Structure formats: structure tokens, C-alpha cells
């Protein structure tokens, strides 16, 4: 018995360390995972013919830092939990009643570096519902479209749409991932926290824990806000 154990030990040394390939975003965001979200939306939803896994992966190629701030599976779970909540399982491309909302222009004139076009509105569009001139302006500059004069591009081009979500994520959310999922809720829509909209917070947490379970990763602490 001892000779057998010694043989195994020596072979292990001679073979050297086992190489474990790090998982990539496409490895985690599989067809099964992505379709498991979008298939829960109604067949009549506009987003079902707009949002695709291939568009997401093409957009993600421009944001190599996505998936590196924390465990890649936990970050993917967090990102898609918010996307699921914001779009209704990829049903909506634009904010519900966005054009008719009293403050549909979503223009903050104090951001003089991002002047609003009076003929355009900056209501929510895309996977994370990009809103306000101060987000459309810099997002457009980073991605390469005219966010202030053509904000509708976010609702017309699925790759750009996903890029706006990833741009917002890496610039406003990734840095708080280590604090727990609750901190990401606060970064995306702080008015829901501290009792502002308990149902919305619970929905986001529910999606997150579900996706963590699907991906086989611990959701971590501090889930709420």
C-alpha cells in the first residue's frame, strides 16, 4: 500500500502542476444561461428580437475589465440580475412610458459639458436603461456614437445598446462589487434603497441569487441595501 502511495506521489511531482484554464465571459454567459432569461419574456416583446447573446459578447469584447473585479460568475450574475429587472427579462428596449413621462427629456442643464438637444430625450434605453444627458454624452464619446444628438441609437443598435450597459457598469458599478450586491443596487438606482422601493430591491436580489445558483457561485454577503 505504501509503495502504491509513493508511486502516485512521485508521478504527481514529475507531471508538474495541473493547469486550470480561467473561465472567460463566453464560458459563463452560455446560450443556455442567456436564453434562460430572455425566454421568460412574452413572445410579443420587442426586446426578444433585439437583445442577443452574440450582441452582448461583441459588446463585451470592448470592455475586457468586465468580469475581473470579482469572481467572474458572481459579476455576471450581478450584471444580468440588474438587466433582467430593468428590461423585464429582455422584454423592453426603452423605458416604459418614457416618451410620455413628465420629465421625459431627463436633462440636467448643470452638466454644461453635455448640453441637451432640445429636440431629444434622454429617458431609459438599453439593458441598464441608460438615462440622463450626463450619461448619454460620455457614453457616446467612449463608444463612438452621438449620444446627445442621437440617443435613439441605444434603442436601434443592439451592440451599442449592450455597450452602454457595460460602459455604465465598469465606470459606476464594478468598483463597489466587493461590498456586496446591495452596493450595486445603490449604484444603479439608489432611490430604491432604505425602504424607497423594497419590492424592487427584493426582485433584484431574487434574480441575483437565482443566477448565482445557476452558475454555482456563492452570492456573498450584504445582498440588500
Q: Give me the active site residues, please.
A: 86
SS3 94: strand
- Distant-in-sequence, close-in-space partners of 154: CB < 8 Å, separation ≥ 6: 125, 126, 130, 136, 147, 160, 161, 164
Q: Do residues 66 and 60 touch, judged by C-beta distance below 8 A?
A: yes
| β strands within 14-79, DSSP E | none
| β strands within the chain, DSSP E | none
Phi-psi region of 106 (alpha: psi -120 to 50; beta: other; left: phi over 0): left
SS3 125: strand
What's the grid cell of residue 210? 437565482
Amino acid at each position: 500500500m505504501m509503495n502504491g502511495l509513493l508511486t502516485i506521489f512521485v508521478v504527481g511531482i514529475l507531471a508538474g502542476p495541473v493547469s486550470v484554464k480561467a473561465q472567460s465571459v463566453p464560458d459563463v454567459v452560455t446560450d443556455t444561461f442567456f436564453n434562460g432569461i430572455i425566454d421568460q419574456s412574452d413572445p410579443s416583446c420587442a426586446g426578444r428580437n433585439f437583445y442577443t447573446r452574440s450582441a452582448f459578447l461583441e459588446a463585451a469584447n470592448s470592455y475586457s475589465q468586465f468580469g475581473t473585479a470579482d469572481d467572474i460568475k458572481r459579476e455576471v450574475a450581478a450584471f444580468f440580475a440588474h438587466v433582467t429587472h430593468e428590461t423585464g427579462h429582455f422584454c423592453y428596449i426603452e423605458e416604459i412610458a418614457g416618451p410620455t413621462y413628465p420629465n421625459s427629456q431627463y436633462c440636467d442643464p448643470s452638466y454644461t459639458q453635455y448640453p441637451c438637444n432640445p429636440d431629444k430625450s434622454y429617458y431609459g434605453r438599453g439593458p441598464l436603461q441608460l438615462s440622463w444627458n450626463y450619461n448619454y454624452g460620455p457614453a457616446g464619446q467612449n463608444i463612438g456614437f452621438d449620444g446627445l444628438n442621437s440617443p435613439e441609437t441605444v434603442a436601434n443598435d443592439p451592440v451599442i445598446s449592450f455597450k452602454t450597459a457595460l460602459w455604465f457598469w465598469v465606470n459606476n458599478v464594478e468598483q463597489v462589487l466587493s461590498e456586496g450586491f446591495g452596493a450595486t443596487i445603490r449604484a444603479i438606482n439608489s432611490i430604491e434603497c432604505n425602504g424607497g422601493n423594497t419590492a424592487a430591491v427584493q426582485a433584484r436580489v431574487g434574480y441575483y441569487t437565482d443566477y448565482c445558483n445557476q452558475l454555482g457561485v456563492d452570492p456573498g454577503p450584504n445582498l440588500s441595501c
